[in-house]
Amino acid sequence: MAESHSNGVETRTDIVTLTQTILSQQQQHKESTGDLTILLSSLASACKWISNVVRKAELLKVLGMTGTTNVQAENVQKLDILSNEIMINMLRGSGKTAILVSEENEEAIFIDSKLGKYCVVFDPLDGSSNIDCGVSIGTIFGIYKVNKIGNPSLADLLRPGREMVAAGYCMYGSSTVLVLTTGKEVNGYTLDPNIGEFVLTHSNIKLGPKKIYSCNEGYANTFDPAVKGYIDSLKFPSPGFQGKFTPYAARYVGSMVADVHRTLLYGGVFLYPGGKLRLLYEGFPMSMLVEAAGGKASTGRQRILDLIPDDIHARSGIFLGTASEVDEIERRYRELDASNQA
C-alpha cells in the first residue's frame, strides 16, 4: 500500500520489519518461549549501534590501528574493539545468552546468568583491514542452543555447524543490510535510518545464475592442483555456444561479508582455500545461509556444516556458492585424491 502526498511522492506503508518477522515466527510455534526473539532483537540493536559508529568513525576519530594484535595474530583496529564491546554488552544484556565467543577474545565468555539458553559466536567486524579505505565491512554471527540450561560448557560450541538454530550477518556499506536465516529461508533487511528499523527488502533469497568467482588469487602459488585446475577452467573455458568462450567474471572485495553477500544475491562461487577462515563465527554461519538459499558449502572433501571444531578458533578452507560450482570443486578433489593414491 502507498500513500500519495501533495508533492507527488508516494510513501509505502505496507512494509515488513525484522521485528514483525521474528514476532510472527514466534507466534507460529506453540512451544516458543520468546527467548530467541529477544536475542535476535538484541543482535539487531547491536548491529544498528555498530552501523552508526562505522558511519561516524572518521568524525569520532576511531579509525586506524591500536598497535596490538588479537588472538588471530591480526592487527587490531580501534573499531574492532568498540564493535566487540557493543556486541558483548548487548548480548549479555539480553539475558538470553550462556556463552559468547568472539574473534577478538582468546577465551569463551561465560555469562553469570543461569537462565541463558543460547550460545552466540560472532566476528564483530569482519573485513576490518578495509576500514580506513571505506570498503564494506560487517558483523557475522551464529547461534546455538545450550544442551543443558544452567550448566553451559565448551561442548555446547564444539559441535557441528548443522546444529546452529540461526545465523546471519550485517553488512555496513552504502546501506546497512542484515541477512538472517533460522534454517528454512534467507531474508535480507535494510536499515531505514528514518524509523530506526530493519525493513524487509530481500525476501526468500536464492542464489542467482551469474558466473562469478570470488577468490584472492594473490595466494595462487599456495593453491593445490584441484583449486588451480578449477580456477583455470573458469578463466579459460572450452568453446561453448557457436564456439564462443564465456569466462567467469572475477569479483573480490577482501571482506567475507561483502563477497558472500554478492554471491548470495547474484550466484557464483566464493573460494578461500588454505584453512584461514574460522569455522565457528565465519565458516558455519555463512555456510548455513548459503545452504538455506539453495547453495552448497564444502571444504572440497566434506560438507562444512558437518565439521566438528576442536577449538573455538578452529580454521578451515571453504568453498561456497551455487551447488553445481561446489560440486565441480569436489569432483576435482576426488580426482586429485585418487591420483595421489594410485
Angle between helices 323-341 and 225-235 (to 10 degrees): 140
Cβ(146)–Cβ(164) below 8 Å? no
Residue 323 lies in a domain: yes
Q: Decide which of 177, 202, 227 is a domain's last residue.
A: 202
Considering 175, 202, 229, which residue would you say is the last residue of a domain?
Answer: 202
User: Does 3 fall in a domain?
Assistant: no
228 by Cβ neighbours in 10 Å (0-12 / 13-18 / 19+) ranks as middle
pLDDT value of residue 8: 52
Confidence (pLDDT) at 302: 97
Structure confidence at residue 44 (pLDDT):
97
- Res 72: pLDDT: 57
Domain boundary among 145, 176, 202: 202
- The answer as to whether 275 is a domain residue is yes
Same domain, 167 and 270: no
CA distance 332 to 269: 15
Per-residue model confidence as pLDDT tens for the chain (342 residues): 445 445 554 555 678 999 888 887 765 554 556 899 999 999 999 999 999 988 887 666 666 655 555 555 555 678 888 999 999 999 999 999 999 999 999 999 999 877 899 999 999 999 877 777 778 999 999 999 999 888 999 999 999 999 999 999 999 998 999 999 998 899 999 999 999 999 999 999 999 899 999 999 999 999 999 999 999 999 998 876 555 578 999 999 999 999 999 999 999 999 999 888 999 999 999 999 999 999 999 999 999 999 999 999 999 999 999 999 999 999 999 999 999 987
Same-domain pairing of 171 and 256: no
pLDDT at residue 1, rounded to an integer? 46
Q: Is residue 1 part of a domain?
A: no
Q: Could you tell me if 289 and 245 lie in one domain?
A: yes
Domain CATH number, residue 223? 3.40.190.80
Kindly report the length of the chain. Answer: 342
Same structural domain for residues 15 and 150? yes
Q: The CATH number of the domain where 94 resides is what?
A: 3.30.540.10
Provide the number of structural domains found in the chain: 2
Question: Is residue 193 domain-shared with residue 290, that is, in the same domain?
Answer: no
In a domain, 207, yes or no: no
Is residue 2 assigned to a domain?
Answer: no
| Residues 93 and 173 reside in one and the same domain | yes
151 with 65, same domain: the answer is yes
128 and 68 inside one domain: yes
**Whether residues 36 and 183 fall in one domain:** yes
**Neighbour tally for 158: CB within 10 Å:** 15
Q: Is residue 198 part of a domain?
A: yes
CB count in 10 Å sphere of residue 205: 20
Same domain, 325 and 260: yes
What Rg do the C-alpha atoms of the chain give, in angstroms?
Answer: 21
**Res 63: pLDDT:** 61
Is residue 195 domain-shared with residue 64, that is, in the same domain?
yes
Any domain includes 41: yes
Tell me which residue of 307, 150, 327, 91 sits closest to 226, measured CA to CA: 327
Do 198 and 235 lie in a common domain? no
Range of the domain at 93: 9-202
